Amino acid sequence: MRRLTTKSMIGGALIALLGTALSATAAQASPSSPRPCTAADFVTGACLTAVVTDPTTPAEMAAVRQAVASGRRSQAERFVHERGIVHHDKLQSRLEGTLHDSASAEPASPVAAAAGVGTVSGYVQEIRDTPTYLYCGASSCTQVGKLFVRWTTNITFYPTVTLDGEVDVTQGPSVILSNVECRTRDDINNAPDVTVKTWSNCSAIEGGAPISYRTIYPQNWTQGGGKGEKYFNQYNVTFRPNITGAPSFSFSWQTQRYYIPSSGHPYWLS
């Protein structure tokens, strides 16, 4: 289903936030000594997780939006309530307004995707991103780490399409990758999008011991789509920092669309 205009289809990114308690910007978040946040805290809403690339986004705001988008509205409500006991600022009013506005909003997918940036060079589309992930409690948000990701899709040799990438913890503790999912989706007009390819090279790096770096080795799709159709890749990642009892983080990206004309070579839409 087409949900984005052509010009707004630039690649994917993720949800959520960054920052500290008072002004809640990335520049102010401490990169060390994460505030304890247990899985039990996360379930109740005593703390929320947050992932962001935009350093100007208030951390608490993004955390609340992420929780609501993931179907955890009750946790978001508790978080906002408990923060209101500690803080009586403009941000608190904005958080309460966000909850109110989201009550009638259309439900989002469990792994939310927000606007991001991808680049195209010839027949190659690439997403490079370094999201920061944090725990947010009623008093403040504390940075846990940073994760660099790269996803590269190459349609040069269509009908063969190639995908590869990498995941690199650039700051903070090692992580356990519980889900790394790469799917190619058919962007069907006036109908739900359909997954036409699930890439096993992405899921191959899941599980096992905590890691600091993983390569997603190139894999080919020799049936790279049908003529007259538009396709895009969606990348979903869920991981848990190697901290005892820590909850997981989840986020996703979407690439630009590529179009396969009835004659001629496929190309990326801008």
Is residue 248 assigned to a domain?
yes
Q: What's the whole-number average pLDDT of the chain? A: 84
* Tokens linked to 8: 């707004």
Instruction: Tell me which of 126 and 105 has the higher pLDDT.
Output: 126
Q: What is the pLDDT of residues 51-101, one digit of tens each?
A: 887 778 888 888 999 899 888 899 999 999 999 999 999 999 999 999 988
The verdict on residue 192 lying in a domain is: yes
Q: How far apart are CA 130 and CA 255, in angstroms?
A: 16
> Has residue 238 been placed in a domain?
yes
Q: Give the model's pLDDT for residue 2.
A: 43
Query: Is 1 inside any structural domain?
Result: no
Residue 215 in tokens: 């390569």
> pLDDT tens-digit profile of 24-39?
333 334 444 445 688 8
Confidence of residue 105 (pLDDT cuts 50, 70, 90): low
* Domain range for 178: 6-268
Number of domains present in the structure of the chain: 1
Does 12 map to a domain?
A: yes
CA 62 to chain centre: 12
In sequence order, what DSSP letters do the residues of the chain get, joined into one string?
---S-GGG---------B--SSS--GGGS-SSSPPP--HHHHHHTSSEEEEES-TTSBHHHHHHHHHHHTT-HHHHHHHHHHHHHH--SHHHHHHHHHHHHHTTSPPPPSS-B-----EEETTEEEEEE--EEEEE-SS-EEEEEEEEEEEEEE-TTTT-EEEEEEEEEEESS-EEEEEEEEEEEE--TTS--EEEEE-HHHHTT-SSS-BSEEEEEEEEETT---TT-EEEEEEEEEEEESSTTPPPEEEEEEPPPEE--SSS--EE--
